[in-house]
Structure 1
Amino acid sequence: MDKTQKIKTFLMFSGQAEEAMNFYTSLFNDSEITNIIHYRAGEAGEEGTVLQATFTLNGHEYMCIDSNVEHAFTFTPAISLFVTCETEEEINKTFEKLSQDGAILMPLNEYPFSKRYGWVQDRFGISWQLSL
């Protein structure tokens, strides 16, 4: 039986896809860039940016690109990646790294729904909810 993940999160960047993938895969265990195709000289996108890529975060597969078209939209906190952390150290470290040069949407704290929770938007514009 094919264990291919049928539904994947697809992220569209504007020239930062490879940097974002490297950053994200450095944060989570069982994570890696599994395939990457770059634009070549003379193609529609800027040479060296990501035409198409796949990567895994904790075994969950994602896809991404660097769009060669300017859009009037970007990422929104209305959709976020939710991470269940196993330890206080893990949530603190992950929150700190993701919020660096980004924005804290909800500070890391105790809330009625979680003993330790925080919501951040990273420097690439992706929103992350972290819960212990």
Structure 2
Amino acid sequence: MTTIDTFLMFEGAAEEALTFYVGLFPDSKVLDIERYGPEGPGPEGSVLRASFQLAGKTYMCIDSFVQHGFTFTPAVSLFVHCDTEEEFDRLYAALSEGGSPLMEAGDHGFSRKFGWTNDRFGVSWQLNLA
């Protein structure tokens, strides 16, 4: 059967990011991490390929050793459905810290509470309290 996983390309912060994300969400864990060895081509110990779960969904990531003319964009974001206001506030604060909020948390007319932020790694998150 064909499967589709979200794939995140970092430039040196893949393990830090996935560890941060796994610590934020329930039913989350690192599934595997494969690292570059001394033969490269990436820096030894950096993430060649990793997979992890957030709230039961699988994601993949790498550390690209090639500098690209692009990075993450808010045009593609991870949308989080929060069950409680406490959960929303905790996640929004953690994901916004060191990042750049795109829409401050609040009532924007289409839900009780919504916020959109880029985290410190550049990944875009939309959080919604239905």
TM over 0.5, yes or no?
yes
Superposition RMSD in Å: 1.0
Which residue of 2 is the match for residue 64 of structure 1? 61
Q: Offset at 1:112? A: 1.4
TM-score w.r.t. structure 1 length? 0.95
Which residue of 1 is the match for residue 82 of structure 2? 85
For 2:97 and 2:6, the matched residues in 1 are separated by 23
Note the 1:1-132 alignment, pairs <5 A.
6-132=3-129
Q: Offset at 1:25? A: 0.3
* Alpha-carbon displacement from aligned partner over 1:13-64 (angstroms, at most 9, x marks no partner): 0010000000000000000110100111121001111000000000000000
Secondary structure at 1:114's aligned position in 2?
A: coil
Aligned partner of 2:23: which letter? Answer: S
For 2:101 and 2:40, the matched residues in 1 are separated by 37
- 4+ long deviations beyond 4 Å: none
**How many percent of aligned residue pairs carry the same amino acid?**
53
For 1:60 and 1:108, the matched residues in 2 are separated by 25
Secondary structure at 2:41's aligned position in 1?
A: coil
TM-score w.r.t. structure 2 length? 0.97
Aligned partner of 1:25: which letter? Answer: V
For 1:12 and 1:104, the matched residues in 2 are separated by 21
Q: Which runs of 5+ in 2 are unaligned?
A: none
Aligned length in residues = 129
For 1:48 and 1:105, the matched residues in 2 are separated by 33
For 2:17 and 2:96, the matched residues in 1 are separated by 13
For 2:10 and 2:55, the matched residues in 1 are separated by 21
